[in-house]
Amino acid sequence: MKISNETKVGALTAIAIVILILGFNFLKGRNLTERNDRIYSVFPDIKGLQVSNPVYIKGLQVGKISEMREKDNNLSGIVVSINLNKDINIPTNSKAIINSDLLGSNSLEIMMGNSTEYIGDGDTLVSTAKVGIMNEITQSLNPAISNINK
């Protein structure tokens, strides 16, 4: 049986479109082969956090940030969607903290609580603000600068 050139071109085009869609989703930080439980956290300020930034628990990467959107029209908070790709029990009283290192890259860390109940798909974590190293340096230098100015 002879396959026509038109059929070969059509099959090649279909395969190319599938690869293009999968590659585009991969570059956006989505993975179709991993677990996709989604949890949320609301922050007053995301401090440079971006989509596809890693999410850590005790140093182990357990997911990525998949989406960020405003809570309401007054921008009273920013809702961060977290895709978890590991099967880890996260207690309900855990906290989400934004970490930033000296080079300026940000990540999200989940500090585990001690509750016996665990969050499920679609639940929301409490968010807290962590003082960064630059803020600590600024706070420690402010008294010295005021003394120099006097």
Q: How far apart are CA 60 and CA 54, in angstroms?
A: 10
Q: In one letter, which amino acid is 127?
A: S
CA atoms within 13 A on the CB side of 64: 15
The 10s digit of each residue's pLDDT in 37-85 is 899 999 998 888 899 899 999 999 999 998 999 998 888 999 999 999 8
Please state, in angstroms and as integers, the Cα–Cα distance from residue 95 to each residue in 29, 92, 150, following that order.
23, 9, 42
pTM: 0.69
Instruction: Please report the pLDDT score of residue 131 as a whole number.
Output: 59
Would you state the structure tokens that stand for residue 92, as one six-digit string? 């309900």
Burial class (CB in 10 A: 0-12, 13-18, 19+), 18: exposed
Using DSSP's 3-state secondary structure scheme, residue 112 falls into coil
Instruction: Please report the pLDDT score of residue 132 as a whole number.
Output: 62
Q: How far apart are CA 148 and CA 118, in angstroms?
A: 52
Contact between residue 101 and residue 57 where contact means Cβ atoms under 8 Å apart: no
C-alpha 52, offset from chain centre: 6
